Amino acid sequence: AQSVTQLDSQVPVFEEAPVELRCNYSSSVSVYLFWYVQYPNQGLQLLLKYLSGSTLVKGINGFEAEFNKSQTSFHLRKPSVHISDTAEYFCAVSEHWEEGAQKLVFGQGTRLTINP
Amino acid sequence: NAGVTQTPKFQVLKTGQSMTLQCAQDMNHEYMSWYRQDPGMGLRLIHYSVGAGITDQGEVPNGYNVSRSTTEDFPLRLLSAAPSQTSVYFCASSYSGAYYYNEQFFGPGTRLTVL
């Protein structure tokens, strides 16, 4: 079974500073990787995904992530954060569960807090 | 499109009570699933359905039942609520579970407290 580890449970940063949220996964096969964002009191929303091709993936709201197969990492970055980026961020890997079924294996989440 | 909708938003139950969490989607998605979110544990799959009339267990199915009589609806039933089922529940849907690169769309969640 695959697993996902988000290395930081909380990340506080100042507004307009860069941020990196770290994610490592365990898998010996091809993977599909996702970052989801959960704003306060809302459901999860897809930020970006890696399926194949270029290892640098661009998502919504200025976020990007880099897939590194040798290090089994998929870190999320943004060069300049805004107050509105305050949210919880989840890294996930897609796993084939049973016939016709997909399971997203989630990391524990990283709470990003932007301070003015 | 309303996307994925869930009701109720909040619910408080006493131990032993039963209830149904409702989930509906208007995107004609084949695949629907239920997750629970607990602090520090991410989201875990409870049950899923690959189409109307077909359901199966996820990784934490005990204490929950599901049915899928239509493409649109996928209710989750708690048979006899226990404090360990206090959690936030999310319903999700996607075009097909067979293609596991598909994006899953999530509802806003139901926050359940069992006393």
Neighboring chain A residues of B48 at a CB cutoff of 8 Å = 97, 101, 103
Chain A residues bordering chain B (beta-carbon distance below 8 Å)? 4, 9, 32, 34, 36, 41-46, 49, 51, 90, 92, 94-98, 100-104, 106-109
For residue A101, the model assigns a pLDDT of 65
Predicted confidence (pLDDT) at residue B97 exceeds the cutoff of 60: no
The residue ranges of DSSP E strands in chain A, in sequence order, are: 3-6, 10-14, 19-21, 23-26, 32-38, 44-50, 56-58, 64-68, 73-78, 87-96, 102-106, 110-115
Predicted confidence (pLDDT) at residue B98 exceeds the cutoff of 80: no
For residue A11, the model assigns a pLDDT of 97
| Number of neighbours of residue A50 by Cβ within 10 angstroms | 20
For residue B99, the model assigns a pLDDT of 62
Q: CB-hemisphere CA count at 13 Å for B55?
A: 20
Say whether B42 and A109 touch across the interface (CB within 8 A). Answer: yes
Residue in A36, A46, A100 nearest the CB of B97 = A100
Q: pLDDT tens per residue, chain A (116 residues)?
A: 778 999 999 999 999 999 999 999 987 566 789 999 999 888 899 999 998 888 899 999 999 999 998 999 999 999 999 999 999 999 998 876 666 567 788 899 999 999 99
Angle at A14 between CA A10 and CA A17, to 5 degrees: 105
Say whether A100 and B96 touch across the interface (CB within 8 A). Answer: yes
Predicted confidence (pLDDT) at residue B100 exceeds the cutoff of 90: no
Q: What is the DSSP letter of A48?
A: E
CA distance A58 to A94: 19
B37-70 pLDDT, tens digit per residue, is 998 888 899 999 989 999 999 889 999 999 999 9
- Are B90 and B76 within 8 A, CB to CB? no
